[in-house]
């Protein structure tokens, strides 16, 4: 506000920014706009840009479909897999960072490179035999395949930032290995844990492939509900975009809180953005 | 490693056997929960896939899997026209999508590499395509690509192009899908490159200026070589993911029209979870995994900086 204008910070820069952002925002904006249009406006050509918004599409989505149930299913699976991944992954990431066990981390990264379907087929066969198809247990376990490597890899980076002297000092004061982890290291990486938890939640919330096969009618998650919606409502664009907005909006809002960590999460800790 | 616990005095409160065990074997205790679960969830399925790839089995409880050696692989490489088509489409999609997003992503980063206020805000907006739910993205693009009513034909019409049939056109479907992937992931490349640009040393530019180098020369001779490691890692990350792309393709085209967008991952899904030809699907997965692993090994080499 008071400082001098930095070089390059002129009208041109902001015009450039808008020009670059526009194509990346447009599809999401179009989805949002279409969800407030009537069927007539949505099928008009050339497209309608100015219109009176209606909430009819949202009303229909919730009245015609058990969308509250789908949302609840998505939340249970995302929270369950995230919670489990944190419990299992946090001590592991701590040990990898503190005792330099990079072999374990590398093995997990390699396993993460396998195509999702190669995990899905064995688990599908096993869950069918155990009659676990269409249960939260099966869904949470398959989503853990994505969540656990994510937690491990992202948290290793955060634990590596904890100064070793603090742990040493606690150990000399008589702290056991476990309480040094619980009382010293964990509180220091709290922001990292929050970011990782949100990332893992988003990954599970967005997951399509695993839920498509493992979820049934009782545990159907939002992406599958929207996909099924697509197959029998091909032309009801208002309803479809309303459903798409309902599923995407929470993710977009959550992502704003952790924007600094998303690149790290998406590249499994390999790169910071 | 364990030298830490040996050199330190034994903690006062570790009286029970369990606490003593943690003191003696911290690595084992801390890593085993994750390792065991990863082994069960991820390593076992990979071995199962390799085992099944040597068998013929239709997911039936009556007939057991029959060992047929490498016959599945022989069939894929010599008799299966659909497999060859899928391999070609997978490579076509991967090369096209990665090339588009890396070139565009780096170009945008170079344009944006200047000071401006509201960088955080800009980043938040720019991140949205990659966190948005893939099914929703696919749905919106399907609507935008609609041949008669879609907004894409309207937009390209404004500059005198089209109308196109986009994903309903056998020849356009892969490029159209690559555009969606590019829309989703270009911001990632841009943000990674921007972070890389921020760490570049100033000295080479200063001496280049003194030597009278043009901006173009500085870009090709200094910026690009210095950015190479960053770009390489981004490129490999994206190509690995492109090889495995499923959600967008399955929702938008399910491999169609005909088999015009049936990539290896989509084909394997159909073979395994639609026709339930588990053995054959597993051999296709081994081939896909070999493809991805090959690229991953290069990635790990690059990450260690030994390449």
Residue of A nearest to B116 (CA): A9
Residue of A nearest to B246 (CA): A209
Residue of B nearest to A199 (CA): B131
pLDDT band at A5 (very low <50, low <70, confident <90, very high): low
Complex ipTM: 0.87
Residue B151: inside a domain, yes or no?
yes
Residue A93: inside a domain, yes or no?
yes
Residue B7: its chain A contacts at CB < 8 A? none
A82-115 pLDDT, tens digit each: 999 999 999 988 988 888 776 766 666 666 677 8
CB A141 within 8 A of CB B41: yes
Chain B closest CA to A73's CA: distance in Å?
16
Q: Does A9 touch chain B (CB under 8 A)?
A: yes
Residue B188: inside a domain, yes or no?
yes
Residue B4 pLDDT > 50, yes or no? Answer: no
Residue B125: inside a domain, yes or no?
yes
One domain for residues B114 and B196: yes
Please tell me the predicted confidence (pLDDT) of residue A8: 54
CB A246 within 8 A of CB B167: no
One domain for residues B26 and B123: no
Measured between CB atoms, which of A27, A172, A209 is closest to B140? A27
Question: Where in the sequence is the domain holding A241, given as residue range(s)?
Answer: 57-162+190-266
One domain for residues B132 and B7: no
A156-202 pLDDT, tens digit each: 888 888 888 888 888 888 888 888 888 888 888 998 899 999 999 99
One domain for residues B29 and B173: no
pLDDT band at A268 (very low <50, low <70, confident <90, very high): low
Residue B68: inside a domain, yes or no?
no
pLDDT band at A262 (very low <50, low <70, confident <90, very high): confident
Residue B269: its chain A contacts at CB < 8 A? 117
Measured between CB atoms, which of B129, B149, B300 is closest to A45? B149
Distances (CA, A) of B220 to A2, A108, B216: 38, 37, 6
Residue B198's CATH number = 1.10.3720.10
One domain for residues B177 and B31: no
Question: Where in the sequence is the domain holding B166, given as residue range(s)?
Answer: 80-303
Q: Which residues contact A203 (CB under 8 A, 6 or more apart)?
A: A143, A146, A147, A150
Residue B156: inside a domain, yes or no?
yes
In degrees, rounded to 5, the angle at the alpha carbon of residue A42 between the alpha carbons of residues A37 and A45 is 135
pLDDT band at B226 (very low <50, low <70, confident <90, very high): confident
Question: Which bin fits A134, alpha (ψ -120 to 50), beta or left (φ > 0)?
Answer: left
Residue A66: inside a domain, yes or no?
yes
One domain for residues B20 and B164: no
One domain for residues B86 and B16: no
Please tell me the predicted confidence (pLDDT) of residue B249: 95
> Are B292 and A145 within 8 A, CB to CB?
no
- Count of structural domains, chain B: 2
Measured between CB atoms, which of A24, A87, A141 is closest to B41? A141
Residue A153 pLDDT > 50, yes or no? Answer: yes
Residue A213: inside a domain, yes or no?
yes
Residue B42: inside a domain, yes or no?
no
Q: Tell me whether strands B55-56 and B66-67 are parallel, antiparallel or unpaired.
A: antiparallel
Residue A175: inside a domain, yes or no?
no
> Are B26 and A205 within 8 A, CB to CB?
no
Arithmetic mean of pLDDT, A25-41? 90
In degrees, rounded to 5, the angle at the alpha carbon of residue B25 between the alpha carbons of residues B20 and B26 is 95
Q: Select the residue from A10, A121, A180, A260 to test the B interface by mutation, using most B Cβ atoms within 10 A.
A: A121
B157-199 pLDDT, tens digit each: 888 887 888 988 899 999 999 999 999 999 999 988 888 888 8
- 3-class SS of residue B259: coil
Full-model pTM:
0.87
> Are A123 and B45 within 8 A, CB to CB?
yes
Chain B closest CA to A221's CA: distance in Å?
12
CB B86 within 8 A of CB B77: no
One domain for residues B156 and B209: yes
One domain for residues B295 and B201: yes
Residue A199's CATH number = 1.10.3720.10
Q: Does A102 touch chain B (CB under 8 A)?
A: no
B50-94 pLDDT, tens digit each: 998 998 888 777 778 888 888 889 888 888 889 999 999 999 999
Please tell me the predicted confidence (pLDDT) of residue A233: 61
Identify the CA nearest to A154 among candidates A68, A267, A59, A61: A267
What is the pLDDT of chain B when averaged over all its residues? 85
- Count of structural domains, chain A: 1
Residue B251: its chain A contacts at CB < 8 A? 208, 227, 230
């Amino acid at each position: 506000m008071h400082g001098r204008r930095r070089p390059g910070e002129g009208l041109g820069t902001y015009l450039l920014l808008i020009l670059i952002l526009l194509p990346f925002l447009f599809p999401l904006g179009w989805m949002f706009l279409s969800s407030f249009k009537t069927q007539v406006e949505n099928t008009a050509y050339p497209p309608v840009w100015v219109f009176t918004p209606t909430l009819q599409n949202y009303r229909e989505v919730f009245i015609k479909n058990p969308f509250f149930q789908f949302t609840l299913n998505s939340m249970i699976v995302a929270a369950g897999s995230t919670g489990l991944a944190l419990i299992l992954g946090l001590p592991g990431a701590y040990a990898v960072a503190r005792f330099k066990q990079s072999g374990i981390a590398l093995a997990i990264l390699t396993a993460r490179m396998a195509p999702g379907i190669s995990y899905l087929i064995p688990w599908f066969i096993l869950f069918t035999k155990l009659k676990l198809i269409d249960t939260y247990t099966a869904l949470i376990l398959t989503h853990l395949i994505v969540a656990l490597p994510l937690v491990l890899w992202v948290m290793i980076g955060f634990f590596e930032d904890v100064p070793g002297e603090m742990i040493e000092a606690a150990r000399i004061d008589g702290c056991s290995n476990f309480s040094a982890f619980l009382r010293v290291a964990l509180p220091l990486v709290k922001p990292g844990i929050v970011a990782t938890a949100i990332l893992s939640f988003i990954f599970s919330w967005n997951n399509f492939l695993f839920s498509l096969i493992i979820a049934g009618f009782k545990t159907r998650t939002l992406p599958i509900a929207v996909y099924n919606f697509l197959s029998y409502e091909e032309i009801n664009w208002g309803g479809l975009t309303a459903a798409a907005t309902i599923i995407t909006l929470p993710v977009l809002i959550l992502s704003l809180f952790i924007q600094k960590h998303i690149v790290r999460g998406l590249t499994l800790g390999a790169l910071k953005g | 490693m364990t030298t830490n616990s040996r050199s330190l005095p034994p903690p006062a409160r570790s009286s029970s056997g369990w606490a003593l065990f943690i003191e003696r074997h911290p690595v084992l205790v801390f890593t085993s929960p994750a390792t065991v679960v990863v082994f069960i969830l991820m390593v076992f399925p990979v071995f199962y896939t390799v085992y099944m790839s040597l068998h013929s089995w239709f997911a039936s409880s009556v007939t057991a899997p029959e060992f047929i050696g490498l016959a599945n692989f022989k069939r894929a490489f010599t008799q299966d026209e659909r497999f060859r088509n899928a391999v070609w489409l997978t490579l076509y999609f991967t090369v096209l999508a990665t090339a588009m997003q890396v070139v565009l992503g780096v170009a945008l980063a170079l344009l944006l590499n200047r000071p401006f206020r509201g960088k955080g805000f800009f980043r938040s907006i720019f991140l949205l395509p990659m966190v948005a739910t893939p099914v929703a993205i696919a749905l919106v693009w399907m609507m935008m690509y609609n041949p008669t009513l879609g907004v894409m034909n309207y937009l390209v019409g404004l500059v005198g192009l089209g109308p196109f049939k986009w994903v309903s056109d056998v020849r356009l479907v892969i490029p159209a899908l690559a555009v969606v992937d590019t829309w989703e992931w270009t911001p990632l490349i841009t943000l990674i490159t921007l972070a890389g640009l921020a760490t570049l040393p100033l000295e080479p530019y200063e001496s280049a200026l003194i030597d009278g180098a043009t901006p173009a020369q500085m870009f090709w001779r200094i910026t690009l070589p210095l950015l190479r490691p960053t770009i390489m890692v981004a490129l490999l990350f994206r190509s690995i993911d492109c090889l495995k792309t499923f959600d967008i393709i399955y929702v938008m085209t399910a491999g169609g029209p005909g088999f015009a967008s049936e990539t290896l991952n989509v084909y394997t899904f159909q073979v395994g979870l639609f026709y339930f030809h588990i053995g054959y699907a597993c051999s296709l997965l081994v081939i896909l995994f070999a493809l991805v692993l090959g690229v991953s090994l290069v990635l790990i080499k690059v990450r260690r900086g030994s390449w």
